Amino acid sequence: MENRVYNLNAGPAILPEEVLKEAQEQLFALPGVGMSVLEISHRSKAFDAILADAKNGVKQLLDISDDYHILFLQGGASLQFSMVPLNLIPPKNKADYIITGVWSKKALKEAKRVGTVNIAASTEAENFKRIPKQDELKLDTDAAYVHYTSNNTIYGTEWHSEPEVGNVPLVCDASSDIFHKKINMNKYGMIYAGAQKNIGPSGVVLAILRKDLLERSQDSLHTMLNYKTHAENDSLYNTPNVFGIYIIALVTKYLLKNGGLDAMYKTNLAKAGLIYEAIDGSGGFYKGHADKDSRSLMNITWRLPSEELEKKFTDEATKAQFIGLKGHRSVGGIRASVYNAFPLKGAEALVQFMNEFKSKNG
Amino acid sequence: MENRVYNLNAGPAILPEEVLKEAQEQLFALPGVGMSVLEISHRSKAFDAILADAKNGVKQLLDISDDYHILFLQGGASLQFSMVPLNLIPPKNKADYIITGVWSKKALKEAKRVGTVNIAASTEAENFKRIPKQDELKLDTDAAYVHYTSNNTIYGTEWHSEPEVGNVPLVCDASSDIFHKKINMNKYGMIYAGAQKNIGPSGVVLAILRKDLLERSQDSLHTMLNYKTHAENDSLYNTPNVFGIYIIALVTKYLLKNGGLDAMYKTNLAKAGLIYEAIDGSGGFYKGHADKDSRSLMNITWRLPSEELEKKFTDEATKAQFIGLKGHRSVGGIRASVYNAFPLKGAEALVQFMNEFKSKNG
Q: Which residues contact A49 (CB under 8 A, 6 or more apart)?
A: none
Band of pLDDT at residue A200, cut at 50, 70 and 90: very high
**Chain B nearest CA to A239, separation (Å):** 7
Cβ neighbours of A87 in B, within 8 Å? none
Q: Could you count the other beta carbons within 10 Å of the beta carbon of residue A266?
A: 12
Tell me, what's the pLDDT at B4? 87
The per-residue b/e assignment along A131-141, b for 16 or more CB within 10 angstroms, e otherwise, is bbeeeebebbe
List CB contacts (< 8 A) between A241 and chain B.
Answer: 74, 201-203, 241, 244
Contact A12 B324 (CB under 8 A): no
Report the chain A residue with the minimal C-alpha distance to residue B9: A41
Instruction: Give the closest residue to B161 by CA, choosing from B120, B131, B191.
Output: B131
Contacts of B337 by beta carbon, 8 Å cutoff, 6+ apart: B8, B9, B10, B11, B13, B153, B197, B298, B299, B300, B324
Calculate the CA A259 to chain-centre distance: 20
Number of CB pairs < 8 Å for A and B? 218
List of chain A residues whose C-beta atoms are within 8 Å of the C-beta of residue B233: none
Whole-model pTM?
A: 0.98
Q: What angle do CA B167, B171, B177 make, to 5 degrees?
A: 130
Task: Return the pLDDT at B82.
Answer: 98
- Residue B2 pLDDT more than 70? no
Checking if the pLDDT of A1 tops 70, the result is: no
pLDDT given at position A2: 55
| A159 in active site | no
The whole-number average pLDDT for the span A114-121 is 98
**pLDDT, position B3:** 77
d(CA B266, CA B254): 16
Check A55, A197, A253, A326 and give the catalytic one: A197
Q: What is the pLDDT of residues A121-148, one digit of tens each?
A: 999 999 999 999 999 999 999 999 999 9
Minimum CA–CA partner of A235 in chain B: B75
Mean pLDDT rounded to a whole number for chain A: 97
CA dist A226 and A235 (Å) reads 12
**Digit-coded pLDDT (tens) for B223-235:** 999 999 999 999 9
Of A292, A332, A338, the C-alpha closest to A310 is A332
ipTM for the assembly: 0.98
Distance from CA of B173 to the nearest CA of A (A): 15
Helix or strand (DSSP H, E) at B297: none
pLDDT score of B1:
46
With beta carbons under 8 A apart, name residues in chain A contacting B22.
none
Answer yes or no: do A9 and B40 touch at CB < 8 A. Answer: yes
Identify which of B336, B352, B350 has the alpha carbon closest to the alpha carbon of residue B9.
B336
Give A102: exposed, middle or buried? Use CB within 10 Å, 0-12, 13-18, 19+.
middle
Which residue in chain B is spatially nearest to A34 when comparing CA positions? Answer: B4
Q: Which residues of B touch A12 (CB under 8 A)?
A: 38-42, 239, 242
pLDDT digits (tens, 9 = 90+) for B153-210: 999 999 999 999 999 999 999 999 999 999 999 999 999 999 999 999 999 999 999 9
Q: Do A76 and B31 touch (CB under 8 A)?
A: no
Q: Known catalytic residues of B?
A: 103, 173, 197
**Facing residue for B75 by CB, picked from A35, A74, A220:** A74
Asked if residue B125 has pLDDT above 50, the reply is yes
Residue B346 CA: distances (Å) to CA of A270, B109, B271, B338, B353: 55, 37, 8, 9, 10
pLDDT tens for A311-334 read: 999 999 999 999 999 999 989 999
Task: Cite the beta strand spans of chain A per DSSP E.
Answer: 6-7, 68-73, 94-99, 116-122, 146-149, 151-152, 157-158, 170-173, 190-194, 205-210, 287-288, 299-303, 322-323, 334-337
Q: What is the pLDDT of residues A70-104, one digit of tens each?
A: 999 999 999 999 999 999 999 999 999 999 999 99
- What CA–CA distance (Å, rounded) separates B209 from B231? 9
Nearest CA in chain A to B44: A324
Averaged pLDDT, B266-271 = 98
Question: What span, in angstroms and rounded, lies between the C-alpha atoms of B192 and A145?
Answer: 36
Which of B41, B102, B322 best probes binding to A when mutated, by most A CB atoms within 10 angstroms?
B41
| Cβ-defined contact of B2 to A30 (cutoff 8 Å) | yes
Using alpha carbons, list the distances in angstroms from residue A11 to A29, A181, A209, B41, B250. 28, 18, 24, 6, 23
pLDDT tens digits, A147-198: 999 999 999 999 999 999 999 999 999 999 999 999 999 999 999 999 999 9
Does A5 sit within 8 Å of B34, measured CB to CB? Answer: yes
pLDDT at position A4, please?
87
Give the nearest chain A residue to B226 (CA atoms): A79
**β-bridge pairing A299-303 and A287-288:** antiparallel
CB contact under 8 A, A2 and B28: yes
Q: Which amino acid is at A194?
A: G
Q: Which residues of A touch B244 (CB under 8 A)?
A: 203, 241, 243
Summarised one tens digit per residue, pLDDT across range A44-73 is 999 999 999 999 999 999 999 999 999 999
Q: Which chain B residue has the Cα nearest residue A106? A: B223
Smallest CA–CA separation between B158 and chain A, in Å?
21
CB within 8 Å: A34 and B321: yes
Chain A residues in contact with B14 (beta carbon < 8 A): 35, 39
Is residue A279 within 8 A of residue A285, CB to CB? The reply is no
Where residue A362 falls among pLDDT bands split at 50, 70, 90?
confident
Give the closest-approach CA distance of A149 to chain B in angstroms. 17
Number of H helices, E strands in chain A: 9, 14
Asked if residues B122 and B72 have their Cβ atoms less than 8 Å apart, the reply is no
